[in-house]
Amino acid sequence: MLSERQSQILERAKRFGRVTVEDLAETYSVSLQTIRKDLNDLCNARLLARVHGGAVLSSSVENVGYDARRLIAAEEKAAIGRAAAELIPDRASLFINIGTTTEAVAQALLRKSGLMVITNNINVASLMRPYPEIEIVIAGGVVRRSDGGIVGEAAVDFIRQFKVDFAVIGVSAIDADGSLLDYDYREVRVAQAIISNARHVVLASDGSKFDRSAPVRVGHLSQIHTFVTDSARPGIRAVCKSHGVRLIETASEPASAPDEPVETARISADDFV
């Protein structure tokens, strides 16, 4: 777990892209050695990368460790999870794929009843298992040690047996043109099967995904029905608008142009019938 100061340092790095040892030491009134230790701890967690005189956010082409990703934008992910869960009515069937943001959605869904959840995410299955009002169906296949995701052709074939009401998916990166990207082609195959076999697809991703890149294409925002994020970039907002994708931003004051209203209202499941 990060200390309070280390969490604040990480937030500064996310805001400015880079932090320096001298500036941090002055800001927190501690020694240079103390700050260097903080930065080393953050780098060991693969949240930052050391550069001369300070540190920067981890390279956008490197997939940050799963446990470390849980610490990034945790409050934003929780808000996204609550907003996405509001879209899912009681007694619905849904897919949930691997991801720290989709886990936040699963957490918010625990108050629902009569759900049937099909997932390739061991973490989601473990989280929901104790709740008798939720039926869990878990895919078979190869368990990825890094994050508990179940991948491979067996998982794809399993997913294709279902046709569900909703899918809640996450991705590793979102390109400026609306391309949805990931690192593992095996997980991409599962995600594509999930998208193809759900009546309404909900993409849940925090704003850090706009600053990352990944090599494997999952699909495009035009294949998504509802996109829930904390704050979208203007270009992404335009892509959503042009393809009729419902955009929900959970930030209290999202950055947007005045002529592009942000949808923040509670949404009823009747909207999707």
92 within a domain of the structure (yes/no): yes
- Tell me how far apart the alpha carbons of residues 272 and 117 are, in angstroms, rounded to a whole number: 19
Q: How far apart are CA 210 and CA 233, in angstroms?
A: 8
- pTM over 0.95? The answer is no
Query: 63 lies in a domain?
Result: no
214 and 259 share one domain: yes
101 in a structural domain: yes
Question: Angle formed by the axes of helices 100-108 and 74-85, to 10°?
Answer: 50
The CATH number that applies at residue 84 is 3.40.50.1360
**Residue 15, domain extent:** 4-58
Query: 216 and 137, same structural domain?
Result: yes
- CA dist 51 and 57 (Å) reads 10
Residue 20, strand partner residues: 54
| Cα 223 to Cα 177: distance, rounded to the nearest angstrom | 13
Tens digit of each residue's pLDDT, the chain (273 residues): 789 999 999 888 877 778 899 999 999 999 999 999 999 999 888 788 888 888 877 644 344 566 666 666 778 899 999 999 999 999 999 999 998 999 999 999 999 999 999 999 999 999 999 999 999 999 999 998 888 899 999 999 999 999 999 999 999 999 999 999 998 999 999 999 999 999 999 999 998 888 788 899 999 999 999 999 999 999 999 999 999 999 999 985 444 343 343 343 334 444 444
260 and 168 part of one domain: yes
Encoded amino acid at 217, one letter: R
